[in-house]
Amino acid sequence: MPNPRNLLFAGLLAVSASAPAQGPQPPLATVTLQAGMHLIKAEVAATFGTRMQGLMFREKMGPSEGMLFVFPAPERQCMWMRNTILPLSVAFLADDGTILNIEDMKPHTEDPHCSARPSRYALEMNQGWFKGKGLKAGAKITGLEKAGPPRP
């Protein structure tokens, strides 16, 4: 009869071998968004897996680059910063691109940062980007339709 300790160890080894490598995900497809006169090159995280990985482990992001999270339906969305090195600001957006609220997020925290109302989109940028451009709740982000429909 096999030793239960060895079976447990073998099971844990198999699970850890099949787990994805801990590192940034490869760059995703991008869309160009616009906030007033400001252009944004946003990677699109539209699947469950890409939304979960987000900007984890990224060491840098260009000054007008970000990540657009596309959710299947407008709901109260929450973001966190597990394994995220960069300080970020997130804007939660309504279907029409109206900014609902903006939250600053500290690296390596699991504090929830949530949309004030149901939101289909979240746009993460380097911390302070929205404030530096004078953007706040009520401003509009255009070009969201280029991100395509959300995928499971």
Per-residue model confidence as pLDDT tens digits over 43-65: 999 999 999 999 999 999 999 99
Residue 70 domain flag: yes
Domain of residue 69 covers: 23-147
Residue 44 domain flag: yes
How far apart are alpha carbons 40 and 2 in whole angstroms? 58
Secondary structure, 3-state, 77-138: CEECCCCCCCCEEEEEECCCCEEEEEEEECCCCCCCEECCCCEEEEEEEECCHHHHCCCCCC
Question: pTM for this structure?
Answer: 0.83
Per-residue model confidence as pLDDT tens digits over 90-104: 999 999 999 999 999
C-beta separation of 56 from 23 below 8 A: no
| Domain count across the chain | 1
